[in-house]
Structure 1
Amino acid sequence: MRTAPRALLALLSLCLALLTAPTAATAAPRIPGTAITVDGNSPGRTFDGVGAISGGGGNSRLLLDYPEPQRSQILDYLFKPGYGAALQILKVEIGGDTNSTDGAEASIEHSRGSIDCSSGYEWWLMAQAKARNPGIKLYGLSWGAPGWIGNGNFWSQDMVDYLTNWLGCAKQHGLTIDYLGGWNERNYNASWYENLHSTLAARGFTRTKVVGADSFSWDVATAMQNDPALKSAIDIVGSHYPCGYTSTMTNCATSPDALATGKRLWASENGSEDADTGAAPIARGVNRGYLDGKMTAFINWPVVAALYPNLGFNSMGLVTANEPWSGAYTVGRSTWAIAQTTQFTAPGWQYLDTASGYLAGDRANGSYVSYASPDRSAWSTVLETMDAGVAQTVTLDTAGGLPGGTLHVWSSDFSYPTAAGRLVRGPDLTAVDGSYQLTLQPGRMYTVTTTTGQGPGTATGPQRAPLALPYRDSLAGTGTGKEARYFSAMNGAFQTAPCAGGRSGNCLRQQAPTTPIRWTDESADQPYTIMGDTSWSDYTVGVDALLQQSGTVDLLGRVGTQGRNNNGLDAYRLRVGDDGAWSILKSDTSWNFTTLAAGTVQALGLNTWHHLSLDFQGSTITARLDSTTLATVNDGDYGAGQIGLGTGGYYPAQFSRLTITAHPTAPLDGVYHLVNANSGQLLDAQDQGTSDGTPVIQWAANGGANQQWRLTGTGDGYYVLTGVASGKVLDVPGGTSLPGTQLQLWTPNGGTGQQWQVVPADSGHYTLRARSDGDLADVQGASLSLGAQAIQWPANGGANQSWQLEKVE
């Protein structure tokens, strides 16, 4: 029994609290009030906007395949004024056929001189953003580039020409690119920037301003101070993560040289935070970037998490949208952290320096920044109290010709996991003796404004659902140059093209002919593309393949976790060459390959179609080529995953007529112990609790019914896990999507936070995926300690997210 020690500890804590409780004479400290005069005559820089990034890479890919109306709803939450994030800048990747974090975006020019302006999906996204907000600013940046450029040298005339070709494509799409960068996070080349600037002017792209250097420091500003030509060539100095990478963004900084340039200074990439937990850092960073470093734009990476959950940055963005087949999506709290500024300002407004600062002069209390419209007919003050411990008051006065009258108040609560966290209209403020007073609660953002027309969107997505099998796709796509439905390229360029080998219609073709100029440093950079549901377990996948040049084609199955920046992949693959050599391979997240079987058949030749298939049943894997069984092997390391297609190098190959058929699997209904693969401890109701809200933890086996869980299928691929001792179910509190939320027991209510996908993982283990948001049941911090919290967390491939099901009855 564990109740007695914990009860004693609780009693001692209560006694200590009573002894040390503040009396009237020793009241808890209060934060002094803050007086703010919002003065239209204040100096201040010009506000350039808050935006987000599509690219770096593939993070928007699945959004294109979302059904209506969900796709439009997501786009509205991102770009529509007065609805959601109301983004003011959209920065996009200029595709280079190479992995740029969680995917590869297609180039417009795979080979020199062969330009396809329809290539890729960023044109579509920019057009959708412009349709919702015509005033949004567009910004292009390269992460990599096709290999023909400069014979592998990015800093070349070829690259300048390539960028102007891309700008020409934008013009064909009716888009004007406002800002253009160099090479993402690869420092700078002064003469190249000077050439870019002069070439843009010579070719008529005078409206496009150059941003340098989109790297992790302000070093380019120092160089600009010593190089007048470079200073003239760069219009905006942009730095990445000036508030710290994946940080709380409590402190932000520029440099004396950056300030001395007199140029606009931007946090041209910031964020890299989860859609929910990133809200508080964004709330600080947008304000403090200006207060600490006079940065006039904040650009969040990325715009949306529309990528598969087995990829490294699967929860980063403003909206999570990783199930196009179901239409499910969730709007993250980060959306509202941005909306508190964007819905109440516009690029071209002016910062009011005398009405911006830290509450009560201490950054621990929070910050405030004020903005005024150019004609001084409107103003807004944005305040954040992310780190404050108690409530505090602010008093506002207006001066310098700014309007007074009734002021409107909107707030978002990020103080705890189950807080609403979205834009809420509060009571209006009216002046008393010429001043306005507002009480600020801790952990919140507030906007006081004279503007109107704001509000939170009301659309919600449907519940999550597996991608049903059987699944078939001709791979003809929706048009030449597009990716096939649900496929997401990780390296290379998989786009539809006229079929070869005498077959009519379109097929999926690997288009990149040479190794690109890479951004990532993966040791195995061969092209491949993935698709499907990570919960698929026992199935047969088949596809027709054709090689147009000598090489190999790959069919992948049970595709699981990908190493960060594509530095490995848990998967099985059948590899077949035109010479007839074949192998069954297993790869891991460090790109170690194990050969499970190999051999040779009659040469396949070129420009002829052949059928490849992989069959998975438990640990048995069978590979077939045409009508011949190549081998059957046994390996149980990967129990479930997606499918994929690939080539052994950068050369053309085609794929057609994909089929995926499921094998019947036995239901898991029954009573189990759930044993964590990392710690060996059991999923446990803390202190044998049976009431609503009882925390769920890990604990050593003790034979208690509070460690037994009854799995009951819902009939659509999910299970309810009921505690045998309590009759209550494993529950995500409030169905929140906030990572790190501790799991609990709760009375059954049919909610998606009480439904779990039980997915085979490795070596007979399973993951438990919450239907509410797709996060996994996880032991916090991979702890080995008794009593460590069971939480929800995005998939990361860790053993602490893997559970053995030991049948009890």
Structure 2
Amino acid sequence: MAALAALLMGLALLTGRAVSPAYAATDTAIAVDGTSGGRTFDGVGAISGGGGNTRLLVDYPSSQRNQILDYLFKPGYGASLQILKVEIGGDTNSTDGSEASFEHSKDDIDCNAGYEWWLMEQAKARNPNIKLFALAWGAPGWIGNGNFYSTDGINYLIDWLGCAKQHGLSIDYLGGQNEKTYSASFYENLKSALAANGYTSTKLVGSDETNWNIATAMKTDSALNNAVDIVGAHYPCTYASAMTTCSSSADAQSLGKQLWASENGSENAETGAAPVARAINRGYLDAKMSAYINWPMLAADYQNLYFHDQGLVTANQPWSGAYSVSRTAWSIAQTTQFTSPGWKYLDSASGYLGGDRANGSYVSYAAPDKSAWSTVFETMDATASQTVTLDIAGGLPGGTLHVWSTDLSQPGGATPRMVQNSDLTANNGTYTLTLDPGHVYTVTTTTGQGAGTATSPARNRLVMPYSDSFAGYSTGQEAKYFASMNGAFQAAPCTGGRTGQCLRQTAPQKPIVWWYPATNALQPYTLMGDVGWSNYTVSSDVLLEKSSSSAELLGRVGTQTKFSAGGMNAYHLRLSDTGSWSLLKTDTAGNKAWNWTTLASGTVTAPGTGTWHNLSLTFQGSTIIAKIDGNTVGTVTDTSYGAGLAGLGTAGYYPVEYSNFSVTHEPVSDLSGTYKIISVSTGKVLTAYNGGTSDGTPVVQKTDANSGSQQWKLAYTSGGYLTITGVTSGKSLDVNAASTWPGTQLQLKTPSGSVSQQWLIAPGDSGSYTIESRSNGYKVDVYKGGTTDNTPIDQWYTNGGSNQRWKLVKVA
């Protein structure tokens, strides 16, 4: 079997297709009986928040923004989400960014702060029946003197519900604090406060931890049991796994309460589709969980962030409008488009195919009045086709049954969408359906389903020069393309004699953090731009409002670690009110807590407070020039980072104002010519497999033999992208079918001008380059960091690894 598995893996890599051995088929007879017992289905949803993963969606052109929103929320179109869970912003990094609080200081309430209100309104406009769920990760530091589980914390949540009411939003579910040990008295007092303030219809979910401990306490604590309406746990199907098995505790199942997977997922948008298909079904089969909520909903965040590849839709280029609807969205649609919250599970028509979870699973749902029903099958682990027969009973309708499916069996090629199959008709009262491996199927009596047809424009670079005075925003807004990583950067009236609006860091004190192992990871900063920006000058006017404060300008911002706790690769120019300045470098070496290296430092005339000054950083190759008020204060040589975003920041939680931000282009090297493309991790050369010249020839790494199959001609197309053409073959480096599957092996193909044959080659770390596909934003990568000849060259999401860095050696 080991030899067979190795052969199949090799074939899959070379062809981009999964290859399954043939085994005996399994037959399963299912009685779909409307009289069956079963819990009430609460829905399938997703989370906006737990980091700024929705941030860039707001800045998309209205046409593409509406298309994305339709794919998420519109019934019968895409994911058709039934629950939207949002973060109550807390001014602190809650995974891949920070969401602004609506109440930075006690009783200073801004009901328009942030974008979650807008998102909930958009969801409700598309699906008035969608359920809304809110949860805090971090929170402003004034609450309970740093203790969220306090009277202040309860009042804060009540204030937030008041803002929701102002937006015409009724919140169906409310939690405590994400993944923090619960406080029984907090839930009990919060329940009383909800009743006292007229929110009796809002149900409490406890405790959003990665365990079921609260359920055990509820068995003996009647007050807590009465307060908590729904018991929700995170990752009950195992974090970042195939989610083949899910679990809840016996205590939880004995309560008579609804049990939820109130956060699950954390999977790549494409490869996570199969785990999600398993978890939606198996969460109920294994653990009686009646809701599945995926984290995150969107990957609308920058590619330098740790979780940028996860979500139902990837949308990280608001300037181009480019986006990608993932396999995970269609995996979810196979349940959401054919059910509704309030339907009943049919336990007798739910189980594992052939009684063996390796064959796949099935779950049946019926409308309360028995007017409609659906059965969802997943065959993620099956190795052969199998047959199911369905007999309908117990008052459920028969007649013609409709079948929809999504093929998740093929790792390469274009992203699949849900498709309609042939209807089923009964033969002697029994329906028969053949299930192929690696699919999700839905058999249903319902109609009105579909797969949206809107398509994305091509990816493009964010063009320099770019500038923003920040003058045109209403108070409280975030600036276009800026994504806060810590703190809250919002528009506010300028001071210091300047009229109009500026951008201001508005979080006044250290927040209640969600996840930080080190206090020096706490300084506020906000990022923007194109990860491929290399040679540029970033500049901004700054004003310090308070003494003992500093402003920062950031450039060439690259990889940021998980939860930002381990730091990020970036250059910083820092100026304090006393006139001390420093040019700093941060890194992620060893995943430590924010390493800082001083590259240069000095003193200028003290800017003090209340006056405007200009900071600028120029990057030209390995040269970095720092200027303050137009005067050069430091010039250094450093090759650590060759490209990245720009940003603004402070050295602590205090107000700093910014105006007249700009990024201007500096001269770049012309990469036209013929090169060997050499992996930094292995020293081996990008090579056409076996010297092949035909379409479909795989690309691998191989020891340098000075052959023509190892030489590549680079030529510019529009917008700074390049084609990479084999010298011997005359064929272009290509992503098969513009696949969005991470791990798709690259190939040769006849030049066509397609975006799947266009590449952004940008300076990386220490004189290397990264090569990014225009079609999907993935990086050219040595498969799993392999070191041997003929290791495939694939595409993979950005991870900062040396197997995604390349040396260009010019040969002509």
| TM exceeding 0.5 | yes
Q: CA deviation at 1:420?
A: 5.2
Q: How far apart in 1 are the matches of 2:507 and 2:471?
A: 18
Residue 574 (structure 2) aligns with: 575
Q: How far apart in 1 are the matches of 2:235 and 2:729?
A: 47
Aligned partner of 2:552 among 550, 554, 564 = 554
Spell out, residue by residue over 1:306-354, the C-alpha distance to the aligned partner (whole angstroms, 9 max, x if none). Answer: 0000000001000000000000001001010000000000000000001
Aligned partner of 2:417 among 419, 422, 432 = 422
Go from structure 1 to structure 2 and tell me whether the alpha carbon gap of 1:793 and 1:207 turns closer, same or farther (over 3 Å shift): same
TM-score, normalization: structure 2? 0.96
Instruction: Check whether the contact 2:22–2:384 (CA below 8 A) recurs between aligned residues.
Output: no
Instruction: Check whether the contact 1:412–1:420 (CA below 8 A) recurs between aligned residues.
Output: no
In the TM superposition, what are the counterparts of 1:687-706 in structure 2 within 5 Å? 687-706=690-709
Q: Secondary structure at the match of 1:763?
A: helix
Q: How far apart in 2 are the matches of 1:426 and 1:248?
A: 27
Instruction: Check whether the contact 1:31–1:360 (CA below 8 A) recurs between aligned residues.
Output: no
Q: How far apart in 2 are the matches of 1:709 and 1:377?
A: 63
Aligned partner of 2:277 among 276, 283, 289 = 283
Instruction: Check whether the contact 2:414–2:738 (CA below 8 A) recurs between aligned residues.
Output: no
Q: CA deviation at 1:792?
A: 0.8
Q: CA deviation at 1:791?
A: 1.1
Q: Would you say 1:735 and 2:738 are equivalent positions? A: yes
Spell out, residue by residue over 1:73-126, the C-alpha distance to the aligned partner (whole angstroms, 9 max, x if none). Answer: 000000000000000000000000000000000001101111111111000000
In the TM superposition, what are the counterparts of 1:582-597 in structure 2 within 5 Å? 582-589=581-588, 590-597=593-600
Residue 410 (structure 1) aligns with: 404
Q: Secondary structure at the match of 2:667?
A: coil
Q: Secondary structure at the match of 1:59?
A: coil
Q: Secondary structure at the match of 2:719?
A: coil
Instruction: Check whether the contact 1:761–1:767 (CA below 8 A) recurs between aligned residues.
Output: yes
Q: How far apart in 2 are the matches of 1:160 and 1:423?
A: 43
In the TM superposition, what are the counterparts of 1:412-561 in structure 2 within 5 Å? 412-417=406-411, 418=413, 421-476=416-471, 478-521=473-516, 523=518, 524-550=521-547, 551-561=549-559
Q: Secondary structure at the match of 2:696?
A: coil
Spell out, residue by residue over 1:717-744, the C-alpha distance to the aligned partner (whole angstroms, 9 max, x if none). Answer: 1111111121111111110111111111
Spell out, residue by residue over 1:744-778, the C-alpha distance to the aligned partner (whole angstroms, 9 max, x if none). Answer: 11222222111110011011111000011101011
Residue 678 (structure 1) aligns with: 681
Q: Would you say 1:708 and 2:711 are equivalent positions? A: yes
Instruction: Check whether the contact 1:522–1:565 (CA below 8 A) recurs between aligned residues.
Output: no
Residue 22 (structure 1) aligns with: none
Residue 51 (structure 2) aligns with: 57
Q: CA deviation at 1:430?
A: 0.7
Residue 20 (structure 1) aligns with: none
Aligned partner of 1:719 among 722, 742, 746 = 722
Residue 662 (structure 1) aligns with: 665
Instruction: Check whether the contact 2:415–2:740 (CA below 8 A) recurs between aligned residues.
Output: no
Instruction: Check whether the contact 1:276–1:737 (CA below 8 A) recurs between aligned residues.
Output: yes
Spell out, residue by residue over 1:536-557, the C-alpha distance to the aligned partner (whole angstroms, 9 max, x if none). Answer: 1111111100000121000001
Residue 630 (structure 2) aligns with: 627
Q: Would you say 1:339 and 2:333 are equivalent positions? A: yes
Go from structure 1 to structure 2 and tell me whether the alpha carbon gap of 1:705 and 1:258 turns closer, same or farther (over 3 Å shift): same
Q: CA deviation at 1:197?
A: 1.2
Q: Secondary structure at the match of 2:298?
A: coil
Residue 206 (structure 1) aligns with: 200
Q: Secondary structure at the match of 2:765?
A: coil
Instruction: Check whether the contact 2:376–2:441 (CA below 8 A) recurs between aligned residues.
Output: yes
Q: How far apart in 1 are the matches of 2:632 and 2:689?
A: 52
Go from structure 1 to structure 2 and tell me whether the alpha carbon gap of 1:322 and 1:365 turns closer, same or farther (over 3 Å shift): same
Q: CA deviation at 1:476?
A: 3.0
Go from structure 1 to structure 2 and tell me whether the alpha carbon gap of 1:192 and 1:60 turns closer, same or farther (over 3 Å shift): same
Q: How far apart in 2 are the matches of 1:28 and 1:773?
A: 34
Residue 14 (structure 2) aligns with: none
Residue 98 (structure 1) aligns with: 92
Q: Would you say 1:768 and 2:771 are equivalent positions? A: yes
In the TM superposition, what are the counterparts of 1:241-280 in structure 2 within 5 Å? 241-280=235-274
TM-score, normalization: structure 1? 0.96
Q: Would you say 1:643 and 2:616 are equivalent positions? A: no
Q: How far apart in 2 are the matches of 1:477 and 1:337?
A: 41
Q: Would you say 1:197 and 2:191 are equivalent positions? A: yes
Superposition CA RMSD, Å:
1.5
Q: CA deviation at 1:711?
A: 0.8
Aligned partner of 1:652 among 644, 651, 655 = 655
Q: CA deviation at 1:477?
A: 5.0
Instruction: Check whether the contact 1:368–1:381 (CA below 8 A) recurs between aligned residues.
Output: yes
Q: Secondary structure at the match of 1:716?
A: helix
Instruction: Check whether the contact 1:413–1:420 (CA below 8 A) recurs between aligned residues.
Output: no
The one-letter code of the counterpart of 2:796 is W
Name the count of aligned residue pairs.
789
Q: How far apart in 1 are the matches of 2:245 and 2:472?
A: 47
Residue 291 (structure 2) aligns with: 297
Moved more, 470-479 or 280-289: 470-479
Residue 564 (structure 1) aligns with: 562
Structure 1 portions without partners, runs of 5+: 1-8, 18-26
Moved more, 782-791 or 33-42: 782-791
Residue 240 (structure 1) aligns with: 234
In the TM superposition, what are the counterparts of 1:3-22 in structure 2 within 5 Å? none
Q: How far apart in 2 are the matches of 1:620 and 1:336?
A: 47
Residue 16 (structure 2) aligns with: none
Q: How far apart in 2 are the matches of 1:240 and 1:749?
A: 46
